[in-house]
Structure 1
Amino acid sequence: MAKQSIFGRISTLMKANINALLDQAEDPEKMLDQLVRDYTNNIADAEAAIAETIGNLRLLERDHAEDKQAATEWGNKAIAASRKADELRASGDAVDADKFDNLAKVALQRQISAENEVKTTAPQLAAQNEVVEKLKSGLNGMKFKLEELRAKRSELLARQKTAEAQTKVHDAVKSINVMDPTSDLGRFEEKVRRVEARAAGQQELAASSLDAQFESLDDLGELTEVEARLAALKAGGQPQGQLGS
């Protein structure tokens, strides 16, 4: 029952579904810190209760040792009183001899009483020692669990921060993909291509105008030659051919 009462106060914590609690918690880090504090406080309460139990055990051990010592001392007193009675009776002093025999009987009664106390407390001591050992073992287990809880807390917080960092990176990458700068470059490139095409068109148009001018010069040359030949005919001469006679 002692073991049950001491560890009963932490049974709820040990059986709690920590994952469910964390899922419901708005701030998992605060929840984990609270679990560590609660478990640490429970260990402190268990230590105080176990210390009290051990103290009671030591008192019982001391009483047991004192009862054993008292049984031995009363036995020695009974022996001494009996011997003194025998000496007095041998010397003819029967009255005093009876007195010492009576003292020996009283001492024997006290010895028997002390021995009974020793016999009664012996199984109690054995049971109490067993309880204390179990309590110590349970306390060590609690301390080990506390270290596991602290380590798990650190691990979970590290994993949470890593996951948050990965989420931020993922969101940043998504933002970069949505706002792709190469799309702006593409639009600028298209604008450049249009400017280049317009310039090429202007050059082509300019070249066409120059060809037309040269063609006009050729036509002008032909008209000039016609006029010259016509003038020669009117003068009564023969028209000059380009090939000659």
Structure 2
Amino acid sequence: MSKQTILGRVTQLAKANINALLDQAEDPQKMLDQLIRDYSDNISEAEQAVATTIGNLRMLEQDHREDVDAAAEWGNKALAASRKADELRAAGSTAEADTFDNLAKVALGRQLGSEQEASAAEPTIAAQTQVVDSLKAGLTSMKEKLAQLQAKRDELVARAKSAQAQNTMLDAVKNIDVLDPTSELHRFEEKVRREEARALGKGELAASSLDAQFEALDDLDRRSEIDARLAALKGRAA
């Protein structure tokens, strides 16, 4: 994939509105997990693209410096050959002077070629520098966005766990509500009350039976007293 395509994707992801994406998601946590994976993958790919682009840029810059240095070196050689030609011509050695002038021309031709190569590389170097700067900025923004995504996910997971714990607690409280007629505790309380009522009934029944026995005993004593008095009356009559 070309670095221009990667640059476009990095820019798009760096500008993405996380909150808007989450608002549209049916399952925000799953979307966050997917976004984290996408961002991580694209960051890794962008880092490779940045490294490759920087490497290419450094090679261009190195070639440019070599062309600039070569142009300067050929300029010095042309100057030296031209001065030698002037010395020889002043000394009357015209043929040798022409030879050094020709060498000076060759050196100047090489200088011109190096200068042209250096000039031709400068727009490319400027463009590549701009691409590198954009990729670096986008990469930094994506890393910041990834940190936001991870923090958002952690917050969402914590909120989900808190809500689940709260619901569990509320369900537990509801299950032990003594006012709930369907609760086990209420049924147990009713059973205890019935047992207590039965015990009270048995107590009352036992008490009434005992009273009856005492009443029967009192009645027996009364009849015995009456019988004794009747016997006494009969004795006096005789």
TM exceeding 0.5 = yes
Match of 2:193 among 189, 196, 204: 189
Alignment of 1:138-149 (within 5 A): 138-149=138-149
Report the TM-score when normalising by structure 2. 0.79
More relative contact order in 1 or in 2 (CA 8 Å, sep 6+)?
2
Amino acid at match of 2:26: D
Alignment of 1:73-222 (within 5 A): 73-177=73-177, 178-222=182-226
Deviation at 1:69, TM superposition (A): 0.8
Report if aligned partners of 2:75, 2:107 keep a CA contact under 8 Å in 1: yes
Kindly provide the CA deviation profile for residues 7-38 of structure 1, in whole angstroms up to 9, marking residues without a partner as x. 3235369356442565247xx4x654433222
Amino acid at match of 1:174: K
Amino acid at match of 1:80: A
Question: How many residues end up aligned between the 2 structures?
Answer: 230
CA distance in 2 between counterparts of 1:56 and 1:40 reads 24
Q: Give 5+ residue unaligned stretches, structure 1.
A: 236-245
Amino acid at match of 1:103: L
Kindly provide the CA deviation profile for residues 80-136 of structure 1, in whole angstroms up to 9, marking residues without a partner as x. 111121122112122332232233233223323333443443454344324322322
Kindly provide the CA deviation profile for residues 50-80 of structure 1, in whole angstroms up to 9, marking residues without a partner as x. 1221122112101210111111011111111
SS in 1 for 2:135: helix
Q: Give 5+ residue unaligned stretches, structure 2.
A: none
Report the TM-score when normalising by structure 1. 0.77
Q: Identity rate of aligned residues, in percent?
A: 44
| Bigger radius of gyration | 1
CA RMSD of aligned residues (A): 2.9
Deviation at 1:3, TM superposition (A): 7.3
Report if aligned partners of 2:22, 2:31 keep a CA contact under 8 Å in 1: no
Deviation at 1:155, TM superposition (A): 3.3
